[in-house]
Amino acid sequence: MDYRLSEDILAIRELCSDIAARHIRPIREELDRENRFPAEVMKVLADSDLFRIYIPEAYGGLGLGSLALCVAAEELSKVCAGVATTYAANALGAMPILLSGSEEQKSRFLPGLASGSNLAAFALTEPDAGSDAGGIRTRAILDGDSYVLNGTKQWITNGGEAKVYTVIALTDPDRGARGASAFIVEDGAPGFSYGKKEDKMGIRASATRELVFEDCRVPVANLIAREGMGFMVAMRTLDNSRPGVAAQAVGIAQGALDEALAYASQRRQFGQRIDSFQAIQFMLADMATQVEAARALTYSVARMIDSGAKRFEKEAAMAKVFASDTAMRVTTDAVQIFGGYGYMKEYPVEKMMRDAKITQIYEGTNQIQRGVIASALIRESASKDRK
């Protein structure tokens, strides 16, 4: 389909496709098997200026917005979602600064993130605060010209590899979620260390680690917005980043569909290619239709964001739910088309199926997203009734 992409975005798509083919595909199985961070690929992406996509020009970026970032994430995800997660998590980590940071904070941190010399990470989740993001326990107590942080963050993408972390912590526990604040914590800060590196089911090329704060001092200048705004900063960040997760899911699904099409044209059973069987044809048709629908919804929401829309949490949640559910269905069907071979690690669809699962879970489970969608629908309906 023709999505009327700009010349700049088409060039980004072609560049990402080339990098994925030349630098990621040859090592994706190794990265997955060894649970290895793709430092060499991150350097290629940085040297290709792909970290600049979502950063405004004033801070060393290209200022191309959400759609461009989605296209890049999708293209990388077609080959390896673990590498794409590592790349996209930088945008997630930078988003609180982009959306709510002061001019001084933007000038101090964004140029390094744009160049790729520094990686970023976003730290909200804790052992007892997953879907219940308001249940965080990490504390930040003001002490002179700094805040003292104590607590643990869990399952943080790019943990241990990033140099810049945006961390949500409680400055006033009595106020619940309204007592949360957002901070920029730099790698090497006194009292900041890394805990367990997770051994994950999928996206194994991305680093996922605990962050441990033990009397960690963070300068007052690193407070984002003001005290009590942390939960709002986090929710705005996730609303803006969810189309990226949807794009990742679209890429995984498209990659699996491409592999299934190629395999079905070569595999022979009962004396003929299996893509001549109507059962396989119908599976491929459904897979392709679902992928195209997910892509259209994802691009539409990204364009909403780029247009300056004030509210898009419902649409962002829809894109994330639909695209991630599609990725799970399509990769499962791809494994089925491969038959017994699809269950073997030497074929890529097995990895794609494992990778797809996380898109239904992280940055808000699909059950939570359906709640977001339903709440928005009810609110919109009540607003119409009042009129």
- Number of Cβ within a 10 Å radius of residue 43: 13
CA atoms within 13 A on the CB side of 194: 20
Contacts of 376 (CB under 8 A, 6+ apart): 313, 314, 317
Q: Could you give the CA distance from residue 203 to residue 181 in angstroms, rounded to a whole number?
A: 30
Sign of CA dihedral 301, 303, 305, 308: negative
Q: Could you give the CA distance from residue 194 to residue 74 in angstroms, rounded to a whole number?
A: 30
Asked whether the beta carbons of 97 and 166 are under 8 A apart, the reply is yes
Asked whether the beta carbons of 264 and 339 are under 8 A apart, the reply is no
- 161 as an active site residue: the answer is no
Give me 122's structure tokens. 């976003």
Q: Could you give the CA distance from residue 120 to residue 162 in angstroms, rounded to a whole number?
A: 5
Q: Which of 57, 103, 363, 380 is catalytic?
A: 363
Contacts of 89 (CB under 8 A, 6+ apart): 119, 120, 121, 122, 157, 158, 162, 206
Residues taking part in catalysis:
363
